[in-house]
Structure 1
């Protein structure tokens, strides 16, 4: 097994430590990323992303790396610490919120739920509750999400484009009345001059953002940052190259979407088909 090193102050953050260990072990072997990919059977770019901290990869690839480097269980243990590190997630999300508040334009892609900027209280409450929140914490998060909606209101509101997977509009809330209210609110938002909504139909098939909710923020100084989110974690990306790659992928997905006018008709059709609240 390779000689173990002391944990320095720089590598105490689990995600950074994991990436550092991957870089160190490969350097000790004298392998290139391409050679590593060929020997383990994964695309070499995945290992590059793992070593840069852009992604953590999955348990299967980490176990394969443990076997390859002769470090049984070490990398998997570091991976588990990184994947479960919520402190760094909260810090990154807090920074994302600061950047979102000052963005000059926003581009969003939704995989399965509507973006927080256009959610109603009822919709936000059900989505957040499904994620495990309850009681006072749930209500605080609902209120915090509602306060974000003001970002898209007023004469100086930034341009906002959201591309919705068709699945977003075909996944109703359990409460029929709340679901109808949410669709009505989306219809209202559609009428704002600074908001553009497009829908990617099921027939578009698999694409570059399948499974990854994405927000791209254009900042006052001219640079763009991105925030991606899967069902397990969110990631703030500020490095130029991966952000540009995401922007190109986003543009390709936009080409697959219905036009804004067609999308508006689709949303209104969903509203017409939505069941009425039996209590009204």
Structure 2
């Protein structure tokens, strides 16, 4: 698996950092703006405006640049930080987004909401709207979240494991059709070789990760990083002792969860239940 390029650079302001990375990647290729536009099928002036910081572009063009430069998820993560620097992405989450883009493996626990990397547009829209987003801001964030899913796609995609508390799957969307689409997508995603989905049933009882969602990232140098999040705040954790405790708690929860095969059957049963409810 190719080593993911580290996010480096002098600028700490998200918009400037994004433009700086675009300029750096194009310079490495030794291409002009016109050549880049011809190869990707966009007007070259758009790339010029993005590199100067005049515009951020949209998630579609950023995703295309990630694919072209071989930096899956990196540019999109930086774009998300720049698109709403004031409220949506605080400093701890900015750092986490960079680390996520560089990660060589991702282990996740969901206490109430599906991980963003496995959400459908309908699911993401309802969750983000519940958090207060609306209008154009909501639309942009949904698009960005959908584009981030490319992190788990491709030959060099990192392995991703998520353990879903049963509560996640017992909290449907208001739109029954969108909820079925989400469950169907979850089943398809679990069939990928690099994605593992497990369900932690209610009967497992209390455990060490009841406080909120958790992501454990492994960096290319072997260094582990954790990100813990609840309704009110998120915390980036880089202290080795705390990460070790979280890792042990995660291992315990994984042992209590259904196997991947049993978990797939669990989600399929839920799909059958939803179909029966809809037909009645």
TM tier relative to shorter chain:
0.5 to 0.7
- Counterpart of 2:80 in structure 1 is none
The CA deviation at 1:211 is: 3.0
Cα separation, 1, equivalents of 2:233 and 2:169? 23
Alpha-carbon RMSD across the aligned residues, in angstroms, is 1.8
Cα separation, 2, equivalents of 1:122 and 1:187? 16
Does the 8 Å CA contact 1:176/1:275 hold for their aligned counterparts?
no
Does the 8 Å CA contact 1:176/1:277 hold for their aligned counterparts?
no
The CA deviation at 1:278 is: 6.8
- Counterpart of 1:30 in structure 2 is none
- Counterpart of 2:200 in structure 1 is 200
Does the 8 Å CA contact 1:105/1:219 hold for their aligned counterparts?
yes
Aligned residue-pair number: 194
- Counterpart of 2:216 in structure 1 is 216
- Correspondences of 1:75-224 after superposition (within 5 Å): 90-224=90-224
Per-residue CA deviations over 1:89-112 (Å, capped at 9, x if unaligned) read 711101101100110000000001
Cα separation, 1, equivalents of 2:273 and 2:224? 38
Does the 8 Å CA contact 1:129/1:138 hold for their aligned counterparts?
yes
- Counterpart of 2:235 in structure 1 is 235
Q: Secondary structure at the match of 1:214?
A: strand
Q: TM (normalized to structure 2)? A: 0.67
Cα separation, 1, equivalents of 2:272 and 2:218? 35
Q: Secondary structure at the match of 2:90?
A: helix
**Structure 1 152/278 Cα, relative in aligned 2: closer, same or farther at 3 Å?**
same
Does the 8 Å CA contact 1:162/1:196 hold for their aligned counterparts?
yes
Q: Secondary structure at the match of 1:274?
A: helix
Per-residue CA deviations over 1:153-172 (Å, capped at 9, x if unaligned) read 11111000000000111110
Per-residue CA deviations over 1:158-215 (Å, capped at 9, x if unaligned) read 0000000001111100001100100010011011000111000000111100131000
Per-residue CA deviations over 1:252-278 (Å, capped at 9, x if unaligned) read 111110111111110111111114797
Q: TM (normalized to structure 1)? A: 0.67
- Counterpart of 1:245 in structure 2 is 245
- Counterpart of 1:44 in structure 2 is none
Cα separation, 2, equivalents of 1:91 and 1:141? 18
- Counterpart of 1:33 in structure 2 is none
Q: Secondary structure at the match of 1:220?
A: coil
The CA deviation at 1:238 is: 0.9
**Structure 1 149/205 Cα, relative in aligned 2: closer, same or farther at 3 Å?**
same
Q: Which runs of 5+ in 1 are unaligned?
A: 1-85
Who wins on radius of gyration, i.e. which is larger?
1
**Structure 1 275/211 Cα, relative in aligned 2: closer, same or farther at 3 Å?**
farther
